[in-house]
Amino acid sequence: VSDKYSDLELLRELYEKNSSKIIVNYTRRFHPSYKKLREDIEKISVREKLTNISIRYQRGFLNNCSHAFDTIEYLMNQEIKLTEIKKHNSANDHFENDPTISIQAFWNDTNMNVLGLSYVKFSHFEIDIYFQYHKIIINESGQRIEILRSEKEAEFLNPLTQQNVYTECLKNQMVHVISRTEDLLADKRSKDNFIGSLKLNQRMLNILQN
């Protein structure tokens, strides 16, 4: 939303004083494939502990990694609030006020590794989500999702086997954003994603500036 705290506070004040609704263009949270993945994760989470998350991105922490953070928040239905943050590899390779950074941190008891691919000249966006016996792979900029599972009998060291694959997960992505916008216009009780996006923006700014 912005790279300045003052902008975010002003936007919050204006938003709270008015009745307009605002959609922030985190398109994956509006796509049916990611809704289905969220349902899959809810079922897995009942039986297994979330253990690790790996993100690989390029072109700005706020600009691009925010899409990964928002996707994870949507899939897990929980805000990302990191602790024990170790920041490194900061490079202003695309934006003056938004470096591409790498971080190592914890989200509750989950190890989170964020690799910022500085100075690369191609698009790159990948997320791996690990449970005790499941691995979820989001690659091709989010276009393809794979769900893999290991059998429990041996407790560990069993190989992963593919369970489900979702393809074309970004197909007609703006159609789904527009559809959500139409829902908001039709039902005043429906909520947009503005305040959640603004809060995420603030937490990410705090990582950059500390």
Using alpha carbons, list the distances in angstroms from residue 51 to 45, 47, 48, 142.
Answer: 11, 13, 9, 21
pLDDT at 210: 87
Q: Which of 3-12, 53-62, 136-145 has the lowest mean pLDDT?
A: 3-12
Per-residue pLDDT, averaged over 131-153, amounts to 93
On the question of pLDDT at 138 being above 90, the answer is yes
Q: What is the pTM of this model?
A: 0.94
Question: Band of the pLDDT at 165, cuts 50, 70, 90?
Answer: very high
Question: Band of the pLDDT at 152, cuts 50, 70, 90?
Answer: confident
Per-residue pLDDT, averaged over 47-57, amounts to 97
CA distance 84 to 109: 11
The proportion of the chain whose per-residue pLDDT surpasses 70, expressed as a percent, equals 98
pLDDT at 74: 97
User: Are 87 and 207 a contacting pair, CB within 8 Å?
Assistant: yes
Q: What is the 3-state secondary structure (H, E, C) of the chain?
A: CCCCHHHHHHHHHHHHHCCCCCCCCCHHHHCHHHHHHHHHHHHHHHHCCEEEEEEEECCCHHHHHHHHHHHHHHHHCCCCCEEEEEEEEEECCCCCCCCEEEEEEEECCEEEEEEECCCCCCCCEEEEEEECCEEEEEEHHHCEEEEEECCCCCCCCCCCEEEEEECCCCCCHHHHHHHHHHHHHHCCCCCCCHHHHHHHHHHHHHHHHC
pLDDT at 197: 96
Per-residue pLDDT, averaged over 67-95, amounts to 96
CA distance 210 to 199: 17
pLDDT at 154: 64
Is the pLDDT higher at 2 or at 60?
Answer: 60
pLDDT at 153: 64
On the question of pLDDT at 186 being above 70, the answer is yes
